[in-house]
Structures are given as structure tokens and as C-alpha cells.
Amino acid sequence: MEFYHEPIMLNEILEGLNINPSGIYLDCTLGGAGHSEQILRRLNSNGLLIGIDKDEEAISYSSERLKEYKNKLLVKSDFKDVKKVLEENNIQGLDGVLIDLGISSHQIDSAERGFSFLRDGKLDMRMDKSQSFSAYDVVNFYSEEKLLKILYEYGEESFAKPIVRKIIEERKKKPIETTLELKNIIESALPKKYIFKSGGASKKTFQAIRIEVNGELDRLEDTIRYLITMLKSGGRMAVLSFHSLEDRIVKRVFKEENENCVCPPNIPICICGHKKSVNLINKKPIIASEEEQKRNPRSTSAKLRIIEKI
């Protein structure tokens, strides 16, 4: 299968990054290189695009797609290990950073990757296929308490208790091995009217398990803060998030870095010593146009936030 992924809010991101043709740009989540290729087209021979992805298939496909461009560096790595990547390649400053926190269309549409409840495949959900821990382990071996925790926190699933009870009940009979098995178990625990009304009753549970498997929220805040320190003056960072948990983290970090004091409001004088480091390019998140949402339904939940380093 071709590693297809339509880049979401492409024009908004390119405009937001305000690309310097001679600049150094980092795409923390390379995917199918839809955003990266357009950044590369705007760079001259002095510019550099660094692309990071922990999915070997993404690196392989993007290497082929971008083979005509010489001024690129593609690295298989989790973007949360970006400090190591930049240090190893002697990168001391960045003109722009893009973090697209979405899962690629290729990963969703590949049944064998086990991300989708619409396609039957093994319970997997690993973005990095070299890791051993998968969705199978979460579903079959997590305690009831741990399952409840991730469904509440990562899935914001109001029916977490009956879903977890049903999973525990069914896995006692036999291991739960496929995505459609899990989907049917989830739906059997829910009110029928809810299943009919929601159109994707398993979505929140699958999201929660995927976030847990890939550690999607682990060190996200620290990584964003580090990358802000790596931005040159006038450099910009664009973050594209797809669910409220990610967006809350991004919003909070950007808000704090846009303020001179982050002391609690009950403290009369500033003792934190924090200094404003960025300006908000957009105070409210940018969302996809109606036209894009109709063309690409996966863009409907996307929120884009952009900052500029002072």
C-alpha cells in the first residue's frame, strides 16, 4: 500500500511557518512527507529540512518521495528524543518546527497495523514496529484499574466501566486478538441507542489504547518546551493536534511561554523569574476550512496553534 497521507491544513501551516528559504526546519512527525515536501520546495540550497519519524515505513516512503532533494536529513526516531537527534547532527538553532500529532492515513487504512476498528487486523497499534509492546498486551494483560485509568484519561470515555468489565469477562474465555473482536466487545457493553447515534462507538477506547501503546502524551510538554529554546529569534513553531488532551498541553505551554510571570494568582509579587519567550501568532486555534473538512473528514478534529520566538 502506498504511504498516503493528505497533509492537513497545508496552506495554513506553510503560511504560519513564514519560511525563510535559507532556514533550518524540523518536521517532528514526518509521516508521508506531505508537509515536508512543500517546506523543501520553499528552501534554497542553504536551507535544511530535518524529518523525524519512528515508523520505519514512513522513513522508507519519504526517502523515496524526497530523493530529488539534497538538503534534507531523515532520521528514524521518536520526536521526543529530538534533543539527541539535533545534538548528534550539530544543529544549534532552528528557524521553524512542525509537530503534526495525528496518526497517518496509511497507518489507519492498513488493517495489519491494527489501528482501526473499521478493518479487521491483529491488535497492534504500534507506530514503531520494532517495539514489542502492543495493543494486544494492553487489552489482554492490563489490570481492570489500569484499563479504567487509560479509558477515562486518554479516551475520555464515559462508558469506561461497562467496557472494561466486558473486556475482562471476554479475555477470561480466550485472548482478544483482533480489532473487530475488540470492537464487538466494546459495542456489546454499550446501550444500543448510543451505538446507533455515535457512529463510532469504539473510537474513544481505540484512541485510549493507541495513546497508551505509543506513549503519545509522554514527555510531550517537555519536548515542546525544549524545541522553543532551540528556535532562533523570529523562528516559528506550528503544532497540529487532534484530540483535546494534546491540545490542552499545547495551549498551556504556549500560554505560559507568552507570559512574563507564571506565579499562582494568590502570590502578590513575582517570584518565578519566568520571562516571556514567544508571541502567539493565533490566540485561538486554527481549524480546517469547511471545504477541507468535506474533502478530508480526518481534518475535522484538527487544531493548529502557532508561536513565534522573541
pLDDT at 13: 98
165-195 pLDDT per residue, tens: 999 999 999 999 999 999 999 999 988 877 6
* Distance from C-alpha of 272 to C-alpha of 218, rounded to nearest angstrom: 25
Report pLDDT for 1: 43
Please choose, from the candidates 103, 118, 21, 120, the residue with its C-alpha nearest in 3D space to the C-alpha of residue 55: 103
Domain with CATH 3.40.50.150 in the chain: 10-101+218-309
Sign of CA dihedral 233, 255, 217, 2: negative
Under the banding of pLDDT at 50, 70 and 90, the label for residue 231 is very high
Q: What is the DSSP string of 86-121?
A: HHHTT---EEEEEEE-SPPHHHHH-GGGT--TTS--
Burial of 292 (0-12, 13-18, 19+ CB in 10 A): buried
Q: Please report the pLDDT score of residue 114 as a whole number.
A: 57
pLDDT for residue 282: 95
Question: For 129-214, which CATH superfamily applies?
Answer: Putative methyltransferase TM0872, insert domain (1.10.150.170)
d(CA 27, CA 100): 8
Determine the Cα angle at 23 with ends 91 and 220, to 5°.
55
Query: Residue 157: pLDDT above 90?
Result: yes
For 19-43, how does the pLDDT look when each residue is reduced to its tens digit (9 = 90+)? 999 999 999 999 899 999 999 999 9
Top-confidence residue, 124 or 269: 124
**Of residues 107 and 102, more confidently modeled:** 102
Q: How far apart, in Å, are the Cα atoms of 303 and each of 1, 49, 136? A: 28, 23, 30
CATH 1.10.150.170 residue window(s) in the chain: 129-214
Q: Which CATH superfamily is domain 10-101+218-309 in?
A: Vaccinia Virus protein VP39 (3.40.50.150)
Share above pLDDT 90 across residues of the chain, in percent, rounded to a whole number: 72
Strand runs labelled E in 143-183: none
Q: What are the percentages of helix, strand and coil residues in the chain, rounded to 5?
A: 45, 15, 40
- Residue 223's pLDDT band (cuts 50, 70, 90): very high
Average of per-residue pLDDT across 195-202: 64
Residues across the chain = 310
